[in-house]
Chains A and B, each alone.
Chain A
Amino acid sequence: MRDPLPQRLGESRYFWGLSRERLAVAGGLLAAAAAVLLLAPIEAFASAPQDAANPAYREFPVVGSRVIMWVTAELHLMFAAFVLAVPMFAVIIEIIGYVSGDKRYDALAYEFTKLLSVSFSFTASLGAMLTFLLVVLYPALTDYLMSIFSWTFFPYVALFFLEAIFLYSYYYGWGKFNPKTHIFLGIMLNLVGTGIMFIADAWLTFMNTPAGISETGELVSLSAAFMNPMWMPINIHRIIANIAFGGSVAAAYAAFQFLGAKTDEERAHYDWMGYIGNFIAIAALLPLPFAGYWLGKEIYAFSQSLGITLMGGTFSWLFIIQAILIGNLFLAANYYLWVSMERIEGAERFRPYIKYLLIVIAGCFLVWATPHSLVASVEEARKMGGAHHPVLGVLGVMSAKNTAVNILILTTFLSFLLYRRGNKAPTVSWAKAGNIAQIAIFVSVVVFVTFLGVYGYFVEASVRIGLSVPQVLSVIFCMIAVTTIDVFMYRNARVTGKIKWGQMSARSQYALFFIALTFAWTMGLMGYVRAGMRQHWHVYGVLEDTSVDAFTPTLGYASNVVSITVLIFFVFIAIVFWLAGLSGKKAWEPAVKAGGEPGEEGAE
Chain B
Amino acid sequence: MKNAVKIFGFAILVTAFYSYVGQTVPQKITYPPESATLGADMSSAELAEAGETIISGKGTCLGCHTIGSGADPSSLRFPDLGGIGAAAATRVEGQDAVTYLAKALYEPNDFIAEGFLPGMPTINRPPIGLNDDEIKAVIAYLQTLGGEPTVTLVTDLGYTTEVSAAPTPGATAAVGSGLDGPGVFQTYLCGTCHNIDAAGALAGPSLYDVGSRLSNAEIYEAIMDPDATIADGFAGGVMPATLGATGFYTKISSEELRALVNYLSAQTGG
| Contacts from A to B (Cβ < 8 Å) | 44, 47-49, 51-52, 55-57, 59, 140-141, 143-144, 215-218, 256, 259-260, 300, 303-305, 308-309, 312-314, 317-318, 320-321, 324-325, 375, 459-462, 510, 513-514, 517-518, 521, 535-548, 550-556, 558-560, 562-563, 566-567, 570-571, 574
Residues from 23 to 59 in B contacting A, C-beta threshold 8 Å: 23, 25-33
Q: What is the bound-complex CA distance between A49 and B253, given in angstroms?
A: 10
Q: What is the bound-complex CA distance between A539 and B172, given in angstroms?
A: 13
Interchain nearest-CB distance for A80 vs B (Å) = 21
Given contact pairs A320-B25, A513-B7, A548-B257, A563 touches B169 in the complex (Cβ within 8 A): no
Does residue B170 face the partner (Cβ distance < 8 Å to A)?
A: yes
Interchain nearest-CB distance for A303 vs B (Å) = 6
Does residue B166 face the partner (Cβ distance < 8 Å to A)?
A: yes
Interchain nearest-CB distance for B51 vs A (Å) = 19
A314 touches B30 (CB 8 A): yes
Does residue B14 face the partner (Cβ distance < 8 Å to A)?
A: yes
B30 touches A552 (CB 8 A): yes
Residues from 243 to 266 in B contacting A, C-beta threshold 8 Å: 247, 249-255, 257
Does residue B189 face the partner (Cβ distance < 8 Å to A)?
A: no
**Binary per-residue interface labels of chain B (106-140) against chain A in the complex, 1 for a CB within 8 Å, 0 otherwise:** 00000000011101110001111000000000000
A47 touches B18 (CB 8 A): no
Does residue B174 face the partner (Cβ distance < 8 Å to A)?
A: yes
B29 touches A546 (CB 8 A): no
B22 touches A49 (CB 8 A): no
Interchain nearest-CB distance for B203 vs A (Å) = 25
Interchain nearest-CB distance for B56 vs A (Å) = 12
In the complex, which residue of chain A has the Cβ closest to the Cβ of B62?
Answer: A313
- By a CB distance below 8 angstroms, the chain B residues around A518 are 14, 18
In the complex, which residue of chain B has the Cβ closest to the Cβ of A319?
Answer: B25
Q: What is the bound-complex CA distance between A550 and B127, given in angstroms?
A: 14
- By a CB distance below 8 angstroms, the chain A residues around B18 are 321, 325, 518, 521, 559, 562-563
Given contacts A517-B15, A536-B32, 9 further A-B contacts (CB under 8 A): A49-B175, A305-B63, A325-B18, A521-B15, A546-B255, A547-B254, A548-B224, A556-B23, A574-B8
Which of A57, A308, A548, A570 counts the most B-chain CB atoms under 10 A from its CB?
Answer: A548
Residues from 46 to 83 in B contacting A, C-beta threshold 8 Å: 60, 63-64, 73-78
In the complex, which residue of chain A has the Cβ closest to the Cβ of B75?
Answer: A461
- By a CB distance below 8 angstroms, the chain B residues around A459 are 74
Cβ-closest 8 pairs across A and B: A559-B22, A304-B119, A460-B74, A536-B32, A541-B127, A554-B27, A541-B126, A563-B15
- By a CB distance below 8 angstroms, the chain A residues around B73 are 460
Does residue B168 face the partner (Cβ distance < 8 Å to A)?
A: yes
Does residue B173 face the partner (Cβ distance < 8 Å to A)?
A: yes
B11 touches A513 (CB 8 A): yes
- By a CB distance below 8 angstroms, the chain B residues around A141 are 173
B22 touches A462 (CB 8 A): no
B76 touches A217 (CB 8 A): no
Given contact pairs A541-B127, A547-B254, A554 touches B19 in the complex (Cβ within 8 A): no
B16 touches A563 (CB 8 A): yes
A317 touches B26 (CB 8 A): yes
Which of A321, A459, A462, A517 counts the most B-chain CB atoms under 10 A from its CB?
Answer: A517
A517 touches B14 (CB 8 A): yes
A321 touches B249 (CB 8 A): no
B23 touches A551 (CB 8 A): no
Question: Can you name 15 A-B residue pairings with CB atoms under 8 Å?
Answer: A44-B250, A317-B26, A375-B26, A459-B74, A461-B74, A542-B126, A542-B168, A546-B170, A546-B175, A548-B252, A555-B25, A555-B26, A562-B22, A563-B15, A571-B8
In the complex, which residue of chain B has the Cβ closest to the Cβ of A560?
Answer: B19
A305 touches B22 (CB 8 A): no
Q: What is the bound-complex CA distance between A498 and B257, given in angstroms?
A: 70
A560 touches B22 (CB 8 A): yes
In the complex, which residue of chain B has the Cβ closest to the Cβ of A213?
Answer: B169
B11 touches A517 (CB 8 A): yes
A548 touches B254 (CB 8 A): yes
Interchain nearest-CB distance for B75 vs A (Å) = 7
Q: What is the bound-complex CA distance between A320 and B238, given in angstroms?
A: 39
* B64 partner, pick from A305, A521, A550, beta carbons under 8 A: A305
Interchain nearest-CB distance for A595 vs B (Å) = 33
Which of A57, A312, A535, A556 counts the most B-chain CB atoms under 10 A from its CB?
Answer: A556
In the complex, which residue of chain B has the Cβ closest to the Cβ of A567?
Answer: B15
Does residue B176 face the partner (Cβ distance < 8 Å to A)?
A: yes
Does residue B229 face the partner (Cβ distance < 8 Å to A)?
A: no
B173 touches A538 (CB 8 A): yes
